[in-house]
Amino acid sequence: MEKSLNMKKIVSNNAIIILIVLLAILTGCTTQNFFTVTNFKNLVVNVSPRFIIACGVSGCLITKGTDLSAGRAVGLAACLSAMMLQSLDYSARMLPWMPDIPWPVALIVVMAIMGCFGGVNGVVISVLKVPPFIATLGMQTIIYGLCSLITNNQPMGGYKPSYLTVASGSLGPIPYLMLFAVVIGIYFWFLYNKTRHGKYMYAIGGNENAAQVAGVNVRGSLIRIYILAGCMYALAGFLVGAKAGGASTATGNGYELEAIAACTIGGVSANGGVGKVGGILIGVLVFEILKICLQFLGVDPAYTYIAQGLVIVIAVALDLRKYLQKK
């Protein structure tokens, strides 16, 4: 009796994940080339940047905030990377005066710049007390405007081979992109579980007023969370650009919603204070597997969007139901 109840609970708490796994099995059985190394690699390189974005936004969500500027920040980061890393012999260079710089330097510069945008978000939210939804909505629009301005709305390409290798290369069978994601995953796991910053983050999400009474520097923590988020968008944008071999103002459009949805599917609660890195990874995987499955099944992309939307709403409804039951 006890066991069957537990089974029921496990099924209802993980309904979405179980559905997706079933969908994947179904797709694998009815189509060809689904369970192949190529397809698996394809999944991994798609998941990696999205997982990094989701890690960035997870801190905002755990502290009962959000970050709608994530997608546009990824786009700006991709464009900034492009401007710095175009081949010297490419005829249509955006910045003809830009010297040849190694990609790690460009990455650090982009992370610093996007970290500043994140810092502004953090200050607006924690000091000016603007609701995160509104603050980051504003930032989303501002970043898009800036991006259009600096790129003249021109798409960019002609990257240096070394930059392209960041996305296309692999260490043995493991794509570099996956290595980036693994390092970030371990970093966030450590940060969330083994440091004061992580504990303070969960405390703020659990009860901001109580955290303040307990001596937590709420402002400082929130600002750090949004700065870190900005840095993650920068890294993701850098990787997305390398993977696509080009960037434009449209890069990263809508990524924030995917990331927020993935976090929620992975158990980062919309009520704050709850969320694990492993869960975020599962959330991103669920979303990407859904996309690939529908692609393989030959479903019209329009329906794919509808399915994604449904998954988001159902996931949040199921998440909130867990809390309603407790009352």
Partner 1 sequence: MSEYRLEMHNVVKTFPGVKALDGAQLNLRPGTVHALMGENGAGKSTLMKCMFGIYHMDEGEVIYEGEKVQIKGPLDALNRGIAMVHQELQPIPERSIGENIYVGRYPLKKLGPLTVIDHDKMYEDAARVLEEVHLNFDPKAKLGSLSVSQMQLVEIAKAVSADCKVLILDEPTSSLTAAEVEALFTIINELRSKGVSIVYISHKMDEILRISDEVTIMRDGQYIGTWSAKGLTTDFIITKMVGRELSELYPVRENVPGEVVFEVEDFTSINPKSFRHVTFQLKKGEILGVAGLVGAQRTELMEGLFGLRNHTDGRITYKGQEIKIAQPKDAINSGIAMLTEDRRATGILGVLSIADNVSIASLNQYLIGGFMLDDGKIEKLVQENVAKLSIKTPSSKTQIQSLSGGNQQKVLISRWLANSPDVFIMDEPTRGIDVGAKYEIYCIIAEMAKQGKSIIMISSEMSELIGMSDRIMVMCDGRVTGFIDGKEANQENIMALATQFE
Q: Specify the residue, 196 or 303, whose C-beta has the smaller distance to partner 1.
A: 196
d(CA 145, CA 44): 32
Beta bridge partners of 170: 175
Sequence-ordered list of residues with C-beta below 8 angstroms from that of 319, at least 6 positions apart, any chain: 264, 267, 269, 270
Q: If binding means CB under 8 A, how many residues of this protein chain bind partner 1?
A: 25
Q: By CB under 8 A, which span of 73-81, 107-115, 154-162, 213-221 interacts with partner 1?
A: 213-221
Task: Transcribe 82-112 into DSSP letters.
Answer: HHHSB-TT-TT-S-TT-----HHHHHHHHHH
**Site membership for partner 1, residue 196 (CB under 8 A):** yes
Selected from 1, 213, 302, 324, the binder of partner 1 by CB under 8 A is 213
**Site membership for partner 1, residue 325 (CB under 8 A):** no
Least distance from partner 1 to the Cβ atom of residue 197, Å: 9
DSSP annotation of 86 reads B
Q: Specify the residue, 35 or 323, whose C-beta has the smaller distance to partner 1.
A: 323
**Site membership for partner 1, residue 199 (CB under 8 A):** yes
Amino acid at 88: L
Beta strands in 56-172 (DSSP E): 170-171
Q: By CB under 8 A, which span of 133-141, 195-203, 229-237, 239-247 interacts with partner 1?
A: 195-203
DSSP annotation of 271 reads T
**Site membership for partner 1, residue 8 (CB under 8 A):** no
Q: What does the chain come to in residues?
A: 327
Can you give the binding site for partner 1, defined by CB under 8 A? 190, 194-196, 199-200, 202-203, 206-207, 209-217, 269, 271-274, 326
